[in-house]
Amino acid sequence: MTDAQVTFLRRFSSTAVLWTVALWTILGGWEPGFVLLIAGLGLVGLWEYYNMLDAGNRPNFKGFGMFCGALLMAGLFYWLAWRRATPDGLYDFEVGTLLFFMLVMFARQMFPKMKGHVPLETISFTLFGLFYVPWPFSFVAKIVYLLPRDFAGNVTGHWYVLFCVLVTKFSDMGAYLTGSLIGKTPLVPHISPKKTWEGFFGALAFSIGGACGLVALMPVKLALLNQTHAVVLGLVLGFAAVIGDLAESLIKRSCSVKDSGRFLPGIGGALDLIDSILFTAPMMFFYLRFVMR
C-alpha cells in the first residue's frame, strides 16, 4: 500500500468517525453530548494553538490560558444549559472573565525582570488564543440556545447548527474541488500557496447551493429560513469559511508548523477541523439574532 493510500484511509476513517459522532449528537438533540463535543473540541483547539506558539518560540502563559478557556466553557453551559438563560445573560460573565484574565496577566508580568517586547508579546499571544478559539467556537452552543425550546422542553436550535456546519463544509469542499480541477490564479500565495481565486469562487458557489438545498430539504426544521435567507447565508458563511481557513494558515506559517496537532489521523489537529467554524458560527448567530430577530 502506497503512502498516498495510507493517508487517504486515515483521512477517510477519521472523517467517518468524526461525522458519525457529530451528526448523532446534533440530530439527537442530546444536550450532554453538545457539552462534551463543543467544550472538548474548543479546549483541544486552544491547547493546539498554544502548542503552535511553543513550536514557534512565541512566549505565552499556556496553563493560565487553558484555565480561562475552561472557565469560559463551563460558564457557557452553566448559563445556557443548566440555568436555561438566553445568550444575553452570558455576556456579562464572558466580559468579566476576560477582564479578570487580562488583570492577572498584567499583574504576573510586573514581577519578572523581562525587558523589551517580551511582556507585551506574552500577554498578547495568550489573550488572543481565547478570542481566537473558545470564544468564537462558543457561538455554536449559543445558536442552539438562541431559539426557544419546544413544548416538551427540547432544544430546537441544533438544526441551525447542523445547517451552519454543513454549509461551512460545502464551502471547504467547493474550494478544494474547484481549486484542484481548474485552480490557476493564486489567492494569497504568501499565506497558502495552494489556495486559488477559482477555489474561492467555487467555495461560494458550493456554499450557496448547499444552503438552498438544505432549506428545501428541511423546510420544517429550518422554518425560519427561506430561499432568500439561504442565498445570503450561503454567501456570508462561504466567505467566512474561506477567511477562517486562511486565518489558521497564517498562524501556522507564522509558527512554522504544518498541522495544528495530531488529534485526527490523516486530517491533523482539532483546530484544523474547526478553523472555518470559528468564523461561520458567530456569523450564523448574529444573522439569526439581528436579521431574523
What is the tens place of the pLDDT at every residue in 42-62? 999 999 999 999 999 998 999
- Give the Cα-Cα-Cα angle 257, 261, 267 (nearest 5 degrees): 100
71 burial via Cβ count (<10 Å: 0-12, 13-18, 19+):
middle
Confidence category of residue 91, pLDDT binned at 50, 70, 90: confident
pLDDT of 46 reads: 95
Confidence category of residue 13, pLDDT binned at 50, 70, 90: low
Residue with grid cell 512554522, as numbered in its chain: 256
Mean pLDDT, rounded, for 213-232? 95
Least confident of 3-7, 21-25, 65-69, 235-239: 3-7
pLDDT tens by residue, 227-284:
999 999 999 999 999 999 999 999 999 998 887 777 666 567 788 888 999 999 999 9
The residue range of the domain holding 160 is 3-291
Which is more confident, 232 or 89?
232
Domains held by the chain: number: 1
pLDDT of 263 reads: 66
Set of cell numbers at residue 254: 507564522
pLDDT of 7 reads: 54
280 burial via Cβ count (<10 Å: 0-12, 13-18, 19+):
buried
Alpha carbon distance 41, 118 (integer Å):
30
- Can you say whether the dihedral through the CA atoms of 254, 255, 257, 263 is positive or negative? negative
**pLDDT above 70 (res 14):** no
Contacts (Cβ under 8 Å, ≥6 apart) of 123: 102, 105, 106, 109
User: For residue 186, what is the enclosing H or E element?
Assistant: strand 186-188
pLDDT of 82 reads: 77
pLDDT of 34 reads: 78
Computed over every residue of the chain, the mean pLDDT equals 86
User: For residue 196, what is the enclosing H or E element?
Assistant: strand 192-196
Note the helical H segments in 56-133. Answer: 62-77, 91-109, 118-132
DSSP state of 152: T
DSSP state of 226: -
**Residue type present at position 21:** V
Q: What is the pTM of this model?
A: 0.88
pLDDT tens by residue, 135-182:
999 999 899 888 887 777 777 888 999 899 999 989 988 998 899 889
